[in-house]
Amino acid sequence: MMNADLVAGVMERRTILFAGSGLSATLGVPTWKGLIDYMSAELGYDPRVLAPPGVNYLTLGEYFRLNAGEEGIVKLSQKMADEWNVKPEKLIASQIYRSLYDLDFPTVYTTNYDHNLENAFHQFGGSPVVVRSVADLPASTKTRRPQAHWDFAHRCQCRIGRMPAGRATSCTTR
């Protein structure tokens, strides 16, 4: 049985949702481990050696950025854009994404590097607005989707593994 306070908080829009890579994984998008495995292979390492259990994925992301250079980042960004943003039909068919949209959280916080959440909200009738810094946050009660780190659409502003002070990606829906 769900906690009554949590249910009330969601119903009264006093609760934020934190959505990690498990959400995107329901669509077949790699989790952080899958991303790190890909980066390890691109650098010529066995992921079990470069990324043993318990390793900090953000540190490995920064290591990739430093060693793969701009060409590696461009290649990774293209792969992510081409393969890890799913087709609208798949988003519309996702009961999980539909439920999250219908719950109408005032803020959805994610560390995901894809745009599937805001793309799904758009498909369900929302109007996502990307916000790249705190100064861009709309002064409204609409749903916001802050993102805590780099994503492939904004790689010029942010880097894998770290984010310049004051930078964020978010969207407002509906």
User: Which one has a higher pLDDT value, 69 or 33?
Assistant: 69
* Average of per-residue pLDDT values in the chain: 76
What is the predicted pLDDT for the residue at 112?
73
CB-CB neighbours of 7 under 10 Å: 12
Residue 6 lies in a domain: no
What is the predicted pLDDT for the residue at 133?
60
Residue 10 lies in a domain: no
Kind plus residue range of the DSSP H or E element containing 132: strand 129-133
Residue 85 lies in a domain: yes
CB-CB neighbours of 126 under 10 Å: 19
What is the predicted pLDDT for the residue at 115?
82
Q: What is the pTM of this model?
A: 0.69
The Cα 163–Cα 18 span in angstroms is 19
Average pLDDT (115-142) is 70
Which residues partner with 130 through β-bridges? 171
Average pLDDT (128-145) is 56
What is the predicted pLDDT for the residue at 83?
84
The Cα 155–Cα 77 span in angstroms is 8
User: For the CA atoms of 90, 91, 94, 95, what is the dihedral angle to 10 degrees?
Assistant: -150
Count the domains in the chain: 1
Phi, psi of 40 (to 5 degrees): -60, -45
Average pLDDT (149-154) is 51
Query: Which range, of 26-30, 46-50, 54-58, 141-145, averages the lowest pLDDT?
Result: 141-145
The Cα 63–Cα 39 span in angstroms is 10
Residue 9 lies in a domain: no
The three-class DSSP label of residue 35 is: helix
Whether residue 162 has pLDDT greater than 60: no
What is the predicted pLDDT for the residue at 144?
53
Residue 5 lies in a domain: no
Q: Print the domain residue range for 107.
A: 15-173
Residue 1 lies in a domain: no
**33: exposed, middle or buried (Cβ count in 10 Å: 0-12, 13-18, 19+):** middle
Q: Are 62 and 162 in contact (CB under 8 A)?
A: yes
* Residue 159 confidence class, pLDDT cut points 50, 70, 90: very low
What is the predicted pLDDT for the residue at 67?
94
Of the candidates 29, 55, 25, the one whose C-alpha atom is nearest the C-alpha of residue 40 is: 55
Whether residue 136 has pLDDT greater than 60: no
Residue 4 lies in a domain: no
What is the predicted pLDDT for the residue at 153?
57
What does DSSP assign to residue 110?
E
Residue 136 lies in a domain: yes
